[in-house]
């Protein structure tokens, strides 16, 4: 609770108190969380996070159920990062990445009030989407202010995906519409194509996005030397950058669980 209050703000239902109940099946109930039969840590963390993401802030339509599940799943990662360190927490992200199905967009069809599609990715892909967004903002102070401000500004309210997108854009001072449009409304995972050519003391690197919407332009964190990171800014058209005195094996992409990459080395 202390960890979540640090990241998301005060527990939303102090007058109702907070209880964990052993039940046949897990479910997030306001102030009384059912955690199933086994009291597994990840399950308790996920269902407890729903007090903020799902019970305090709710989605207006079931088409936006990813808002509940992505933030609650990402909260599990944040607890692991805070309690066990980033290296241990990254294993949880790897687990989530392996469970992405890619069968349906994260945002469903509005107005039918029924989960008629496979929304398992709302948990795994949605949580990794949020972690990637944190990396793109590249300022943890801003990122965690956004999470806390969401809870204070939308407390006890319902919210839609467009409202959430607009809010994050305004709070961050950046326009992530291209990012949300790709990962929320499309099934395809963008692929980063990289061509590397080494000649003399220069390393020439070409890059572009494939399998993405035409306006997709997500920056990518890369390693350009030992313990030295930078961003490249690919679009769906080829771009090129040159480095001097950089070995081919020292240029690495990521890690980013929301992209796939193919590297072609030109001799």
Complete edge-to-edge strand list for the sheet that includes strand 26-27: 19-21, 32-35, 26-27
Q: Give the list of residues 6+ apart from residue 100 with CB closer than 8 angstroms, or none.
A: 121, 124, 125, 128, 189
Could you confirm whether domain 191-266 is CATH 2.60.40? yes
* Cα gap 121→100, rounded to integer Å: 6
Q: pLDDT tens digits, residue range 55-104? A: 999 999 999 999 999 999 999 999 999 999 999 999 999 999 999 988 88
Question: How much is the pLDDT for 91?
Answer: 93
pLDDT averaged over every residue in the chain: 89
Per CATH, the homologous superfamily of domain 2-185 is Neutral Protease Domain 2 (1.10.390.10)
Distance CA 239, CA 208 (A): 6
Task: Look up residue 193 and give its two tokens.
Answer: 């194509």
Among 8-22, 23-37, 82-96, 122-136, the minimum mean pLDDT is found in: 23-37
At residue 222, the pLDDT reads 83
Strand 157-159 relative to strand 57-59, pairing:
parallel
pLDDT of residue 151: 98
Per DSSP, the three-state class of 222 is: strand
pTM higher than 0.75: yes
Q: What is the pLDDT of residue 263?
A: 60
Residues 6+ apart with CB under 8 A from 257: 93, 94, 96, 97, 128, 131, 132
pLDDT value of position 244: 78
From 20, 77, 14, select the one nearest 47 (Cα to Cα): 20
Query: Where are the domains positioned within the chain?
Result: 2-185, 191-266
CB atoms within 10 A of CB 209: 21
Integer Cα distance of 10 and 7 in angstroms: 9
Torsions phi, psi of 188, nearest 5? -65, 140
28-37, 154-163, 194-203, range with greatest mean pLDDT: 154-163
């Amino acid at each position: 609770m202390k960890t979540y209050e640090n990241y998301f703000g005060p527990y939303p239902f102090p007058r109702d108190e907070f209880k964990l109940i052993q039940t046949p099946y897990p479910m997030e109930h306001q102030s009384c969380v059912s955690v199933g039969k086994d009291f597994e840590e990840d399950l308790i963390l996920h269902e407890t996070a729903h007090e903020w993401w799902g019970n305090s802030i709710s989605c207006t339509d079931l088409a936006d159920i990813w808002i509940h599940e992505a933030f609650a799943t990402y909260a599990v990662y944040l607890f692991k990062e805070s309690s066990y360190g980033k290296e241990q927490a990254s294993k949880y992200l790897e687990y989530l990445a392996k469970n992405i199905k890619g069968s349906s967009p994260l945002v469903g069809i509005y107005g039918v009030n029924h989960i008629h599609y496979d929304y398992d990715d709302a948990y795994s892909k949605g949580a990794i989407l949020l972690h990637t967004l944190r990396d793109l903002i590249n300022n943890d102070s801003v990122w965690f202010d956004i999470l806390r401000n969401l809870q204070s500004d939308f407390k006890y309210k319902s919210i839609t995906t467009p409202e959430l997108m607009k809010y994050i854009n305004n709070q961050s001072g950046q326009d992530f519409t291209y990012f949300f449009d790709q990962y929320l409304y499309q099934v395809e995972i963008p692929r980063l194509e990289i061509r590397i050519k080494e000649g003399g003391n220069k390393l020439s690197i070409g890059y572009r996005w494939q399998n993405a919407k035409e306006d997709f332009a997500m920056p990518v964190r890369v390693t350009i030397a030992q313990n030295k990171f930078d961003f490249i800014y690919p679009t769906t058209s080829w771009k090129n950058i040159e480095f001097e005195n950089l070995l081919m094996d020292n240029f690495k992409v990521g890690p980013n669980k929301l992209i796939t990459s193919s590297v072609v080395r030109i001799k």
